[in-house]
């Protein structure tokens, strides 16, 4: 019997692996950091907000994880190379990349300055590409494969009437990077996949979980299109992340995993 058949959960074992998380001070980045720390990874956490970065690094260290915080955004080729270099200097390799950095800027197209559109594209698309490039170079040098997980959104597939042209375009581009890079690296043992959520509980969306009239109306309108009948919780993202970061997903690449309660299926 194959070893994994006698212990199927071993496919999800990432203890001791080295993971880089960018955007570690944001909602999904912080969640990813905590999940990977709890799974026994050694972490390099990158973010532009020092206080928030220190807080999440401390929280991860309390689990016993080894953590290297870096106060950098993946906003240039040089920054991305430095983040990867710090990981290699501290831990000797890189096994997992989670790109959780990004932004949104809600505005109707007739009111949006081109610079604001380009800012969203830079944060969500260019920075994802640059970080994936830097980690790919290191993983190819190592020659042992690896896991790249990008952050997309259901808005990469579906439009939105409330001023999301920049965000939707950026997440569609992330989907394109995921598919193209998954094909490009397929034979190398490096998998490239994306998690695409809808509305999840976070500091930015907490108001939607409230009992006031605005929250109830907004929630009811959204949930009318969600077969599961509820909004997402952080735990709903933890499982997909562990799957895509582990051997369990070795035959999956170029895949967009919709964590959306069936929202995009309807």
Handedness of CA 159, 160, 166, 170 (dihedral sign): negative
- Structure token pair of residue 64: 């016993």
Torsion angles phi and psi, residue 88, rounded to 5: -70, -40
CA 208/CA 201 separation, integer angstroms? 8
Active site residue 167: yes
149, 193 in Cβ contact below 8 A?
yes
Handedness of CA 97, 103, 104, 110 (dihedral sign): negative
- Strand duo 42-46 + 190-197: pairing: unpaired
Active-site residue identified among 164, 167, 258, 263: 167
Residues catalogued as catalytic: 167
């Amino acid at each position: 019997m194959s070893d994994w058949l006698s212990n199927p959960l071993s496919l999800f074992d990432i203890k001791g692996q080295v993971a880089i998380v960018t955007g570690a001070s944001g909602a999904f980045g912080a969640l990813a950091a905590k999940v990977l720390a709890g799974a026994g990874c050694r972490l390099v956490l990158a973010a532009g907000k020092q206080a928030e970065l220190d807080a999440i690094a401390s929280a991860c260290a309390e689990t016993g994880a080894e953590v290297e915080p870096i106060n950098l955004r993946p906003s240039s080729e040089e920054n991305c190379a430095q983040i990867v270099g710090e990981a290699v200097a501290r831990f000797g390799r890189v096994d997992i990349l989670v790109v959780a950095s990004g932004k949104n800027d809600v505005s109707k197209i007739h009111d949006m300055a081109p610079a604001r559109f380009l800012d969203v594209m830079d944060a969500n698309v260019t920075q994802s590409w640059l970080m994936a490039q830097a980690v790919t170079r290191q993983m190819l040098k190592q020659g042992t494969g690896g896991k790249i997980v990008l952050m997309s959104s259901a808005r990469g597939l579906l439009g939105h009437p409330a001023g999301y042209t920049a965000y939707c375009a950026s997440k569609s581009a992330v989907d394109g990077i995921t598919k193209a890079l998954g094909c490009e690296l397929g034979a190398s043992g490096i998998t490239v996949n994306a998690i695409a959520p809808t509305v999840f509980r976070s500091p930015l969306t907490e108001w939607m979980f409230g009992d006031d009239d605005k929250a109830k109306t907004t929630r009811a309108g959204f949930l009318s299109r969600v077969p599961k009948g509820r909004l997402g919780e952080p735990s709903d993202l933890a499982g997909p992340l562990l799957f895509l970061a582990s051997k369990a997903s070795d035959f999956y690449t170029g895949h967009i995993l919709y964590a959306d309660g069936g929202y995009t299926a309807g």
